[in-house]
C-alpha cells in the first residue's frame, strides 16, 4: 500500500476510518491495542477488514499500558484506541505513565460528532483539555482532510526528540466522511519543534577536559540512554575512561549489571555503594537523566562536591533540578560517540579503593529464613532459573519493584519495563501483554505485588485469549507493602488500611477461572519447580502465587527529604 500513497496525483478516495488505517500502514504499525465503543465503530469496522493485528484488552487503561509495554520492549511507537467519554478518560493514567517515562505512543480516541461537541452529549468529554498536561502533543480533528497530515505529525512527534505520547481525538462523523487520501512522505516541518539539535563541539570539549581533571568521576545514566540506543557507547566510554557507572531505575539494562564498573542503582532504594559514590564524586557525568527526587533526595545536600556534566536531548531538563556546570544538549548516542575520541583511560586508584571498601562492607543483604520465602530470594531465584533465556521483566509498583531493581541483574537494554516517573500500580500485567506481543521471541515475566496485580488482574483474560506465555510471579505479602513499610518506619507502626488479606481472592483459582495455570508456593524449595513448570509452558500464561514474608522491608533506604548520604541500612530499633 505504501507505494500507492506516495503523491497527490495518486490520491485515493476513501473514508476517514480507511484513511486512519492507511496512515497506520504508512507508519509501519503492525499491532494496535484497544477497546471498541460507539464513537469508534466506523474505525473498528475498517479494522475488521484491514488485516492489522488488534489486541482486545479488558479495560482501556490496560490498553494504554499494553501499548506502553510494547513500545518499551520493541523501541517502536505503541498505538492504542479507545472510544469517547469514559473510554477516553480511562486512558489518562496510561498516557500520564508514558509521558513521565518518555514512551512513544499514539492514542486514538473517538469523539461525538462535530456538531455535538460542546453540548454535553452522551459520552462526551473534553479529551483534548484533559490530556494536554499528560501528552507531548494532542489534536482534535475538525475536518476529515486533516487526517493524513495530523497522523504524519503525530507519529513524528512521538518518536523523535524526547519521546512521548501523542493523542488524536477523532469525531465519529469524520470517520465516515470521504477524503482524497495521500500520505505525506517527508517529515513534517513544525514551527517551534526542533527535535534534532546540533551538538555543541565546544560543550563536548569542555566535558572531556573536565573528565581529564577529575579524580573521583562517576557516570550516572538513565532511560535516555536506552531510548537513544546508546548503551554500547556508554559501555565504551566507561571502559575507555575507566569510570564507574550507576543507573537510575529507568536506566537499568543500559549498562550490564555483571560489569566490574557497575555499582548498582542509585536513589532512595539504591545500593549503598552507588549512593555513596554519587555523594563523594567530584565529577558526575549525567546521561539521559532528569535528576528525579527519588534519586537526589534533598537537593540542597545533593552531590555538593561534584562538577555536573548533564547530557540530555531535552534542553528543558538541563539545570531544572540540579545545576549543570557543563550542559551538552543532544542525542545521547551522538554526544557519547563524540566524547569517546576525546577521553583517555584514567587511573583512579584511591577512588576505586574507596568504592571497593563500600562494596565489601555494605553489600545488599537480607535475612534468609530456613523455609519461608523472603521476597528477595524469590527475585533472585527467578533470575537464576530464567538466566539462560532472553527475558523481559515487567513490574507493578511497590516493594516488589524495588526488589527487582536491586536483585535482578539486567544485562541488556529494554529488558526491564516498569513505571518509574508516575509510579503506576497495576502497570505490570498489561505491560507484560504488550511486551510479549511485541517480542514473541522473548519470554516475559511480570514480577508483581498482590496489591498492584489486583488493580489490573482482568488482563489475564487478554493473555489467555492470545495464548501469551507470560509468567506472572506475585510476591504476595497480603498487604500494601510499601505503604506498610512507611507506616512502620515513619508513622509509629500505625498500620492504617493496608491489609489486603481480608476478602482477598484465591489467586490460583482466579488464574484458573480465566483459563490460565495457577501455582501456589509457600516454601523456598517449591519455587524453582514452579518457575520451571511455568517456563515450559508456551501456550498461555502461568500465575505463581508466591507467599512471602509480610514484614520484610526494602533496604537500603533514604528517607524522603533526607540527603543522599543519610542511608538507612535497616529499620531503627524502637525502645
CB atoms within 10 A of CB 469: 18
- Strand arrangement, sheet containing 283-287: 262-265, 245-247, 217-221, 283-287, 307-312, 326-329
The catalytically annotated residue of 10, 122, 132, 209 is: 122
Query: Is 194 considered catalytic here?
Result: no
Distance (Å, rounded) from C-alpha 238 to C-alpha 219?
8
Distance (Å, rounded) from C-alpha 504 to C-alpha 499?
10
Axis crossing angle, helix 60-74 with helix 428-438, rounded to the nearest 10: 50
Distance (Å, rounded) from C-alpha 142 to C-alpha 174?
8
- Strand arrangement, sheet containing 542-547: 416-417, 391-395, 443-449, 471-476, 542-547, 517-521
The catalytically annotated residue of 172, 268, 302, 555 is: 172
Helix (H) or strand (E) holding 444: strand 443-449
Partnered with residue 247 across adjacent β-strands are 221, 265
CB 473 within 8 A of CB 111: no
Using a CB cutoff of 8 Å and minimum separation of 24, what contacts does 361-366 make? 362/272, 362/273, 362/276, 362/569, 363/272, 364/264, 364/271, 364/406, 364/407, 364/556, 366/552, 366/555
Q: What are the helix (H) ranges across 364-472?
A: 375-386, 399-407, 428-438, 450-455, 460-465
**Three-state DSSP state, 358:** helix
The cell numbers describing 256, all together, are: 550490564
The catalytically annotated residue of 265, 278, 402, 482 is: 482
Return the closest-CA partner of residue 522 out of 555, 477, 472.
477
The catalytically annotated residue of 60, 124, 153, 381 is: 60
Total residue count of the chain as it appears in this document: 575
Query: Is 569 considered catalytic here?
Result: no
CB 127 within 8 A of CB 109: yes
Query: Is 123 considered catalytic here?
Result: yes
Distance (Å, rounded) from C-alpha 556 to C-alpha 125?
45
- According to the 3-state scheme, what is the secondary structure of 500-532? CCCCCCCHHHHHHHHCCEEEEECCHHHHHHHHH
The catalytically annotated residue of 123, 149, 205, 359 is: 123
CB atoms within 10 A of CB 76: 17
Q: Which residues are catalytic, by number?
A: 60, 122-123, 172, 482
Amino acid at each position: 500500500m505504501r507505494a500507492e500513497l506516495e503523491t497527490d496525483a495518486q490520491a485515493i478516495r476513501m473514508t476517514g476510518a480507511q484513511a486512519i488505517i492507511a496512515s497506520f500502514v504508512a507508519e509501519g504499525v503492525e499491532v494496535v491495542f484497544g477497546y471498541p465503543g460507539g464513537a469508534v465503530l466506523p474505525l473498528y469496522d475498517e479494522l475488521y477488514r484491514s488485516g492489522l493485528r488488534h489486541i482486545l484488552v479488558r479495560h482501556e487503561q490496560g490498553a494504554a499500558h499494553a501499548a506502553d509495554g510494547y513500545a518499551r520492549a520493541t523501541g517502536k511507537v505503541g498505538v492504542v484506541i479507545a472510544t469517547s467519554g469514559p473510554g477516553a478518560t480511562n486512558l489518562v493514567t496510561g498516557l500520564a505513565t508514558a509521558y513521565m517515562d518518555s514512551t512513544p505512543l499514539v492514542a486514538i480516541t473517538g469523539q461525538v460528532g462535530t456538531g455535538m461537541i460542546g453540548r454535553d452529549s452522551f459520552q462526551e468529554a473534553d479529551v483534548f483539555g484533559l490530556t494536554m498536561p499528560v501528552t507531548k502533543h494532542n489534536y482534535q480533528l475538525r475536518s476529515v482532510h486533516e487526517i493524513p497530515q495530523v497522523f504524519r505529525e503525530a507519529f513524528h512527534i512521538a518518536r523523535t526528540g524526547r519521546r512521548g505520547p501523542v493523542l488524536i481525538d477523532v469525531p465519529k462523523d469524520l470517520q465516515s466522511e470521504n477524503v482524497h487520501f495521500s500520505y505525506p512522505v517527508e517529515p513534517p516541518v513544525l514551527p517551534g519543534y526542533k527535535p534534532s539539535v546540533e551538538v555543541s563541539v565546544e560543550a563536548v570539549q569542555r566535558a572531556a577536559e573536565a573528565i581529564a581533571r577529575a579524580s573521583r568521576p562517576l557516570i550516572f545514566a538513565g532511560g535516555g540512554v536506552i531510548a537513544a540506543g546508546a548503551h554500547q557507547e556508554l559501555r565504551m566510554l566507561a571502559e575507555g575512561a575507566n569510570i564507574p557507572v550507576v543507573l537510575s531505575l529507568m536506566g537499568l539494562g543500559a549498562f550490564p549489571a555483571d560489569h566490574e564498573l557497575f555499582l548498582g542503582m542509585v536513589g532512595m532504594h539504591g545500593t549503598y555503594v552507588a549512593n555513596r559514590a554519587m555523594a563523594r564524586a567530584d565529577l558526575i557525568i549525567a546521561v539521559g537523566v532528569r535528576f528525579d527526587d527519588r534519586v537526589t533526595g534533598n537537593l540542597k545536600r545533593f552531590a555538593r562536591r561534584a562538577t555536573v556534566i548533564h547530557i540530555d536531548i531535552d534542553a528543558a531538563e538541563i539545570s531544572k533540578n540540579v545545576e549543570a556546570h557543563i550542559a551538552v544538549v543532544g542525542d545521547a548516542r551522538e554526544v557519547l560517540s563524540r566524547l569517546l575520541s576525546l577521553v583517555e583511560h584514567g587511573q583512579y586508584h584511591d577512588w576505586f579503593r574507596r568504592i571497593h571498601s563500600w562494596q565489601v562492607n555494605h553489600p545488599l543483604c537480607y535475612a534468609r529464613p530456613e523455609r519461608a520465602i523472603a521476597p528477595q530470594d524469590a527475585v533472585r531465584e527467578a533470575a537464576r532459573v530464567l538466566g539462560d533465556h532472553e527475558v523481559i521483566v515487567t513490574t507493578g509498583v511497590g516493594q516488589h519493584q524495588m526488589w527487582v531493581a536491586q536483585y535482578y541483574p539486567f544485562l541488556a537494554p529494554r529488558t526491564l519495563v516498569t513505571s518509574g516517573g508516575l509510579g503506576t500500580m497495576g502497570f505490570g500485567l498489561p505491560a507484560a501483554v504488550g511486551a510479549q506481543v511485541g517480542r514473541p521471541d522473548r519470554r516475559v515475566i511480570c514480577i508483581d505485588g498482590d496489591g498492584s496485580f489486583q488493580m489490573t488482574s482482568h488482563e489475564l483474560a487478554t493473555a489467555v485469549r492470545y495464548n501469551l506465555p507470560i509468567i506472572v510471579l506475585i510476591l504476595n505479602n497480603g498487604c500494601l507493602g510499601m505503604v506498610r513499610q512507611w507506616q512502620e518506619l515513619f508513622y509509629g507502626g500505625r498500620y492504617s488500611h493496608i491489609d489486603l488479606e481480608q476478602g482477598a481472592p484465591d489467586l490460583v483459582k482466579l488464574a484458573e477461572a480465566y483459563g490460565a495455570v495457577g501455582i501456589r508456593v509457600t516454601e523456598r524449595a517449591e519455587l524453582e519447580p514452579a518457575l520451571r513448570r511455568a517456563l515450559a509452558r508456551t501456550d498461555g500464561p502461568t500465575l505463581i502465587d508466591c507467599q512471602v514474608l509480610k514484614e520484610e522491608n526494602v533496604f537500603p533506604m533514604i528517607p524522603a527529604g533526607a540527603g543522599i548520604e543519610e542511608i538507612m541500612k535497616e529499620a531503627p530499633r524502637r525502645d
